[in-house]
Amino acid sequence: MNTEALWAEIRRNMGCHTLDSQSQRLTEQALAHLQAQAAPKRLWRMFPITWQDHAPLLGATPLEGQDIRKHLQGCEAAVIMGATLSFSAETALRRMAAEDMALAVVADAVAAAMVEQLCEETEQEIRSHVPYPFVTQRFSPGYGDLPLHTQPALLRMLDAGRTLGITATAQHILLPQKSVTAVLGCSHSPVQDARKGICGVNCKGCPQEDTCPSRCGTAEN
């Protein structure tokens, strides 16, 4: 685990460049709890891409939206990945919330940073193992106009309920909450990555453009 990168992500999630003494103490406490309790899991699988009516299909699963179409343009295959801190981390978050709300707020930022680093590690593994020299960044349901109702299909393709313990609610929210699914495009030729903002989606035209907290500090809108 890259400790420096993890702390940088925690500070970004908390919206500050440096932590005061109280925030530092709470962060160290939350991190110790979560690192002791979390059971990180990750999995990825590669599928060929076919195109039907200008929409990418992974197997029989169509991916809706202009943003994912642009993201996968020119790609011959795609990787679906899943990552989670597991329900043990969620239990730890609930316990901290019951004890101290200030600690709970910090712990949520810490857990989000931990799952982000898990995703980064998974992405690095994918890049080093797939037989393609060019791989896009990850693109998740909810980014841009890729709908959240894509989640169940991605979970099925990963057999995520069995392999990772990840399921989705009727509203397509992942459980455990500190879980991620994503799609990465693979190609033998250079590809244009559709991700632009800090969160991974082009800010311009995003439905959350005016309210998204990640927009602050984005180099290109």
Which residue in the block uniquely carries the two structure tokens 């509203």?
A: 171
Q: Into how many domains does the chain fold?
A: 1
- Pairing relation of β-strands 61-62 and 55-58? antiparallel
Q: Compute CA 49 distance to the chain's CA centroid, rounded to the nearest angstrom.
A: 21
Residue-level pLDDT at 214: 53
Q: Which residue range(s) make up the domain with 31?
A: 3-215
Q: Is residue 220 part of a domain?
A: no
The DSSP output letter for 139 is: B
pLDDT value of position 30: 97
In the predicted model, what is the mean pLDDT of the chain? Answer: 90
Q: Is residue 221 a part of any domain in this protein? A: no
pLDDT at 60 over 90: no
**Residue 143 maps to a domain:** yes
CATH for 192: 3.40.109.40
> Could you tell me how many helices (H) and strands (E) the chain has, helices first?
7, 8
Both tokens of 120, joined, read: 């980064």
* CA pair distance 46, 78, nearest whole angstrom: 6
Q: What is the pTM of this model?
A: 0.85
What pLDDT, on a 0 to 100 scale, did the predictor assign at position 101?
A: 96
pLDDT tens digits for range 133-165: 999 999 999 999 999 999 999 999 999 999 999
pLDDT of residue 210: 57
